[in-house]
């Protein structure tokens, strides 16, 4: 009698736990961006366009491969970002721009939509992959953001790969800095009190907002977002943009969506762009497409904030609006739909 009762209890427990197990998500996927701005077909040679598309595809494939094998969305966005950080094509990691002092100061953030845990680094100078350092802050510290030398030291202690300044030097970025400084001398009235031009004022910056980002939904229904950047050419030392600011340039919440932004960071910080999209979905029941459209194409446009976002919701829907002429972007979904795009 006791054996029968135990057997029945075990059976009940098994079926109860099975019923509570979350069904695997069918519409998992990933979206990425490599920056927005005045990106015109006339400005890119066929060879350079080919290089950008190939690297974007590589980043997409790296992240999607993890999702396909039942990996986490956090691992997927980190993998995708690292591909772009390792490429000199993008303003992140090895291709980062220079500050007014001729230094590289990089920012990155990552967020887990399941737990709302997040990690970020700002102003790091020696970390090859700032996104991995941000992941370490999230996983191995009680903090959300570490900055400057403290962030560099923490990342090194966590085993993140490091490099000296020569690793981050590219002639193209250096020439951009020199041209920005020359323009600054010619039009000092357009600079602020400390001499750094905004992206709108700096014609040699080509009005490109260099950031890389990724958002993903995994098979278990968990969302994640990640963003990494070298910031603005000729920026003041210590300037921090929206990328590492949770809710401004990066945000993820399983209730709604995951968002990564690219654009003039000061506007994205002031208007808490990434969180605003999530809030519109949660509190006003807007769809992902409606929420991203409202924020990027209406709210930001009204205040002359330039840029775009990539976002994915808990159902696997993807939205990638931008109010600039172009945005390096791409997506890949489990239903077979995929694309890599640059122009409007």
Catalytic residue numbers read 211
Q: What's the Rg (C-alpha) of the chain?
A: 21
Question: Pairing relation of β-strands 145-147 and 118-124?
Answer: parallel
Between CA 204 and CA 181 the distance in angstroms is 9
Helix count (H) and strand count (E) of the chain?
Answer: 10, 13
Between CA 293 and CA 223 the distance in angstroms is 20
Nearest CA to 245 out of 260, 230, 224 is that of 260
DSSP structure string for 279-323:
HHHHHH---HHHHHHIIIIIIHHHTT--EEEEEEETTS-EE--BS
Strand boundaries in the chain, DSSP class E: 29-37, 106-112, 118-124, 145-147, 208-209, 212-217, 223-229, 250-252, 257-263, 307-313, 318-319, 326-333, 338-343
CA torsion through residues 262, 150, 73, 256, sign: negative
Nearest CA to 245 out of 230, 266, 224 is that of 266
Between CA 309 and CA 249 the distance in angstroms is 9
CA torsion through residues 229, 54, 37, 185, sign: positive
């Amino acid at each position: 009698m006791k054996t029968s009762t135990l057997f029945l209890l075990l059976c009940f427990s098994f079926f109860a736990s099975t019923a509570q197990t979350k069904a695997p998500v069918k519409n998992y996927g990933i979206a990425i961006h490599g920056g927005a701005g005045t990106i015109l077909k006339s400005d890119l040679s066929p060879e350079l366009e080919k290089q950008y598309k190939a690297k974007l595809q590589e980043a997409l494939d790296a992240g999607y491969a993890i999702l396909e094998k039942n990996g986490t969305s956090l691992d997927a966005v980190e993998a995708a970002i690292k591909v772009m950080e390792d490429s000199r094509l993008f303003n992140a990691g090895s291709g980062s721009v220079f500050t007014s002092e001729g230094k590289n100061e990089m920012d990155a953030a990552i967020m887990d939509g399941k737990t709302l845990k997040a990690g970020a680094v700002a102003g790091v100078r020696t970390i090859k992959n700032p996104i991995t350092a941000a992941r370490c802050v999230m996983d191995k510290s009680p903090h959300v953001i570490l900055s400057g030398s403290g962030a560099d030291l923490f990342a090194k202690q966590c085993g993140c790969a490091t490099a000296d300044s020569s690793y981050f030097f590219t002639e193209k970025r250096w020439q951009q800095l020199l041209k920005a400084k020359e323009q600054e001398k010619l039009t000092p009235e357009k600079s602020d009190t400390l001499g750094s031009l905004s992206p709108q004022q700096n014609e040699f910056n080509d009005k490109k907002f260099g950031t890389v980002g990724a958002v993903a939904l995994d098979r278990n229904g968990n969302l994640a977002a990640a963003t990494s950047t070298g910031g603005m050419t000729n920026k003041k030392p210590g300037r921090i943009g929206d990328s590492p600011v949770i809710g401004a340039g990066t945000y993820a919440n399983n209730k709604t969506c995951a968002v990564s932004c690219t654009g003039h960071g000061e506007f994205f910080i002031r208007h808490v762009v990434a969180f605003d999209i999530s809030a519109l979905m949660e509190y006003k029941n807007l769809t992902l497409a409606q929420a991203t459209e409202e924020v990027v194409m209406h709210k930001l446009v009204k205040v002359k904030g330039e840029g775009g976002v990539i976002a994915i919701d808990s159902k696997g829907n993807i939205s990638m609006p931008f109010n600039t002429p172009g945005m390096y972007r791409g997506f890949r979904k489990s239903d077979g739909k995929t694309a890599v795009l640059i122009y409007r």
